[in-house]
Structure 1
Amino acid sequence: MSRRKTERLLNLVICLLATRRPLSAEQIRQAVPGYDRDGDEAFQRMFERDKNELREIGIPIDVVRDPWEDEPGYRIERQSYELPEITLEADEAAVLGLAAQVWQRASLAEAASGALLKLRAGGIETHQDVGALELRVDTRDPAFPSLWEAVRDRRVVRFDYRSAGSENVRTRTVEPWGVVSRRGRWYLAGFDRDRQAPRAFRVSRITGEVATLGRPGLVEVPAGVDLRGMTAFPDEPMEERAATIRVRQGTCEGLRQLARSVTQGQDGWDEAELVFSDPERLAGWMASLGADVQVVSPPDAREAVIRRLKGALT
């Protein structure tokens, strides 16, 4: 969000909180900096977007219709806006701080840090310092954000899926029940409409974009469903192998630290040997490093990276 927009939304909230009587749209336009420079149509569109955004984050804007006035008025009731006093026990605050650390590198990092910031602003200490314990949730899989949103909104999804041990890709239509992490991998659990049965799908095997079907709220999660039980697959045997990776000089210090060996090159690239077991997990990491790495071998790891990059472009 731009600084100008942030200031405009903040000014709008202050204006609607401070007024003793409902303000018309024109009065708001004159009182709130950021609206006065736009034409009538531009102002109306911007004002509608701003009202929707504030409501989406939980700020209640009341619309008051006066029979003696042609236009409705707007205000924010202070008692509806203000939260009751929040108190947390020490163990509850510690859990919140730890949860925010878990999501630090994930797609929910911004929401997690924003929640902690709001709690601190209200005088609640969240105890993020948990000593040597450091947890992370890895959600580099491109499909994860769309799946998480679909689970949240209870919307049907459709995606292309590559089965284990096969290069065959088939389209699946799924009613998502939840996204579960198990042994370092993410799974989507839900009802597979194609097979007419509950199924779980490894998120890293989803290729391309995830499409949503129908309106929100269509998916009903069965009572008592065991999502973790649905992802309790037998362990897939994966032997450790070595990948040869070209690394641009002066970059990717973390990869260099984990590599078994790094050979300095003469063309601006070094060659690293990295031990791995799951080509999909390796591909997710390498794809996140962008143009600073090139996977040379083995072929399945290289092809997994190519699939990730093509999926990000589609």
Structure 2
Amino acid sequence: MSPVSPSAEKTERLMNLILALTSARRPVSKQKLRQALPSYAAAASDEAFDRMFERDKDELREMGIPITTTVIDVLFDDEVGYRIDSSETALPAISFEPEEVAALALAARAWSTASISGAASAALRKLRLAGVEIDDSMAAGVEPRIRTREPAFEAVRAAVTALQPITFDYRKSEGTVDTRHVQPWALKNWHGRWYLTGYDLERQAERAFRLSRFEGPVRKKGRAGGYSVPSGHVPEVAVGTSDPQPAGTAVVRLRHGRGGALRRHAVTTREVDDRWSEIELPYRQGLTESDVAALGAHAVAVSPPELVERVRTALAGAAVANGGAA
């Protein structure tokens, strides 16, 4: 069994101190805290305990946790007790507008086919327990889905969160494979594909890597938290420069007020009538049809023919999946 790291031990000690001082009905003396908390009881001497307790107390106060100091006995004013008033640390009740609840529910459903779907479902359960009404009757059919089928996703996500340098084998567009050493900065879903943006240590430059081209396991290299992400980093820019060139132009009709993601890529836009507009945009095979199909009845593929056929196939599959007829 591996030993507990100093940071984990300290975190546990601070949490135990918070719980002890929050749950206490009356101020608690230092000696009682030392007897009650294992980390303090294990202190080598009174001086070591005093130093540890004072550091912990100051750190909690720096975090904004108000620790009050009160004289326990008026006859002995040198004996003081400590307590945390839970009313000072409790958060106010959280409320959501109906539109916000719908957006949260849709976001959780978008992750339902992803590797972190459990976290999304848990978030909805917590909202329900807090009294937030979640509408489960939202139309399920063609709706956005976020998929994370790439084997490297979890390891890369953990590295981005921990600011952990990694190394991995990467298959380039011409088919060759080489090893990259990268400081991960961000994960970005771009036109249906997942990309890692970060700093390539060997090339001394910012790069973007498509997760589907990772070969083999992702390996840690170096300590976590040893670098920071530049404040001006924009993942869309880094990924956009590495995205393959579009294969021609697509024409799509959109209902007014719909298809914002498609409209952002529009080259031209014309109004068809008081309900529909028609846009031209770069056609990325395998991606544009997904964006069009996700809009259901609010979008119509016009050209090229392969886009029309792919959207029709996607909609037919969604109809069958939901008990309808293709």
Report matched runs for 1:133-144 at 5 Å: 133=141, 134-144=143-153
In structure 2, do the counterparts of structure 1 residues 197 and 27 end up closer, same or farther at CA, with 3 Å as the change threshold?
closer
Q: What one-letter code is carried by the residue in structure 2 that aligns with 1:234?
A: Q
116, 119, 133: which one aligns with 1:125: 133
Residue 28 of structure 1: CA displacement?
5.8
> In 1, are the aligned partners of 2:66 and 2:88 still within 8 Å (CA)?
no
Instruction: Report the AA paired with residue 225 of structure 2.
Output: P
Output the CA distance in 2 between the equivalents of 1:129 and 1:212: 46
Partner SS, residue 158 of structure 2: helix
CA distance in 2, matches of 1:130, 1:179: 29
From 197, 216, 232, give the equivalent of 1:223. Answer: 232
SS at match of 2:131: coil
Q: Which has the larger radius of gyration?
A: 2
Aligned residues: CA RMSD = 4.1
Identify the residue that residue 147 of structure 1 maps to in structure 2. 156
Give 1:84 deviation, angstroms: 1.3
> Counterparts in 2 of 1:1-314, with a 5 A limit?
17-20=22-25, 21-22=27-28, 24=33, 26-27=35-36, 77-79=85-87, 81-133=89-141, 134-166=143-175, 168-206=176-214, 207-216=216-225, 218-223=227-232, 225-227=234-236, 228-234=239-245
Aligned equivalents of 1:187, 1:202: Cα separation in 2: 4
Aligned amino acid, residue 122 of structure 1? A
C-alpha distance 185-146 of structure 1, shift in aligned 2 (>3 A): same
Rounded to whole Å, the distance in 1 between the matches of 2:21 and 2:146 is 40
> Which stretch of structure 1 is more off in the superposition, 112-121 or 195-204?
112-121
Counterpart contact for 2:22–2:85, Cα < 8 Å:
yes
| TM-score between both structures, scaled by the size of structure 2 | 0.49
Q: Would the alpha carbon gap of residues 24 and 188 (structure 1) be closer, same or farther in structure 2, given more than 3 Å must change?
A: same
Deviation at 1:99, TM superposition (A): 0.9
Structure 1: how far apart are the matches of 2:231 and 2:36? 50
Stretch of structure 1 that moved more, 98-107 or 119-128: 119-128
Deviation larger for 184-193 or 221-230: 221-230
Q: Residues 88 and 15 from structure 1, CA distance in 2 versus in 1: closer, same or farther, beyond 3 angstroms?
A: same
Structure 2: 5+ residue runs without aligned partners?
Answer: 1-15, 43-62, 72-77, 248-285, 287-326
Does structure 2 conserve the Cα–Cα contact (< 8 Å) formed by 1:105 and 1:136?
A: yes
Is 1:96–1:126's contact at 8 Å kept on the other side of the alignment?
A: no
Sort the Cα spacing of 1:14 and 1:224 in 2 relative to 1 into closer, same or farther, 3 A. Answer: closer
Scaled by the length of structure 1, the TM-score of the pair is 0.51
1:80 Cα deviation (Å)? 5.1
1:124 Cα deviation from its structure 2 partner: 2.0
Distance in 1, Cα, partners of 2:136 & 2:34: 43
CA offsets per residue over residues 199-247 of structure 1, 9 Å max, x none?
21111222212314233161323415242524532259xxxxxxxxxxx
Which whole-Å CA distance do the structure 1 matches of 2:89 and 2:118 have between them? 23
Q: Which residue of 2 aligns with 1:294?
A: none
Q: Which residue of 2 aligns with 1:274?
A: none
Post-superposition CA distance 1:44-88 (Å, at most 9, x none): xxxxxxxxxxxxxxx99888999978xx97x65413542212121
Task: Verify the 8 A CA contact 2:188 2:235 in the aligned structure 1.
Answer: no
Are the counterparts in 2 of residues 182 and 231 from structure 1 also a CA contact under 8 Å? no
Consecutive unaligned residues of structure 1, counting only runs of 5 or more, are 1-10, 30-39, 42-58, 237-276, 278-314
Contact 2:165/2:221 (CA < 8 Å) preserved in 1?
yes
SS at match of 1:159: strand
SS in 2 for 1:93: helix
Change (3 A) 1:136 1:82: same
Identity within the alignment, %: 36
Query: Could you tell me how far apart the structure 2 residues matched to 1:108 and 1:147 are?
Result: 13
